């Protein structure tokens, strides 16, 4: 598991300290996991999987994909959940707030604009 924790952390471009802070342990504890001095508890494993959408089977055994494959609805729900934890005045929150007020005809215009932008990139 030590190599997989390190691979995950490197994939996420996080230091041991930052990775540890996100899962509730100190950076040196992550270092101990990565060199094999300690094994993470089940609680830490669950925290890693929850925080980073990691496939628990991959983390424990190396089988399967590193990250969970999400449906579009799951991706949207995850994004909204993360967004709700942010400060109120972020661009993302302001944009989602505006989008939530669009009427059906507004969505049709927005879709047409996106289509036209894609078409213009092909030229």
In a shared domain, residues 40 and 81? no
Domain that holds residue 17: 2-61
Q: Tell me, yes or no, if the pTM score tops 0.95.
A: no
In a domain, 16, yes or no: yes
Give a three-class secondary structure readout of 12-41: CCCCHHHHHHHHCCCHHHHHHHHHCCCCCC
In a domain, 67, yes or no: no
Distance CA 110, CA 104 (A): 10
Rounded mean pLDDT, 87-110: 94
Residue 123 has pLDDT above 80, yes or no: no
- As for how many domains the chain has, the answer is 2
Q: What is the pLDDT of residues 29-73, one digit of tens each?
A: 999 999 999 999 999 999 999 999 999 999 999 999 999 999 999
Whole-number pLDDT of residue 72: 95
Whole-number pLDDT of residue 40: 97
In a shared domain, residues 55 and 82? no
Look up the CATH number of the domain holding residue 54.
1.10.260.40
In a domain, 87, yes or no: yes
In a shared domain, residues 77 and 109? yes
């Amino acid at each position: 598991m030590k190599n997989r924790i390190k691979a995950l952390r490197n994939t996420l471009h996080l230091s041991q300290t930052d990775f540890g802070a996100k899962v509730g342990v100190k950076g040196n504890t992550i270092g101990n996991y990565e060199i094999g001095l300690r094994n993470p508890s089940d609680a830490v494993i669950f925290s890693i999987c929850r925080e980073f959408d990691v496939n628990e089977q991959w983390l424990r055994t190396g089988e399967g994909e590193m990250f969970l494959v999400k449906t579009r609805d799951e991706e949207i729900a995850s994004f909204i959940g993360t967004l709700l934890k942010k400060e109120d005045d972020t661009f993302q929150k302001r944009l989602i707030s505006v989008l939530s007020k669009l009427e059906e005809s507004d969505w049709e215009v927005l879709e047409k604009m996106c289509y036209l932008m894609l078409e213009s990139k092909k030229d």
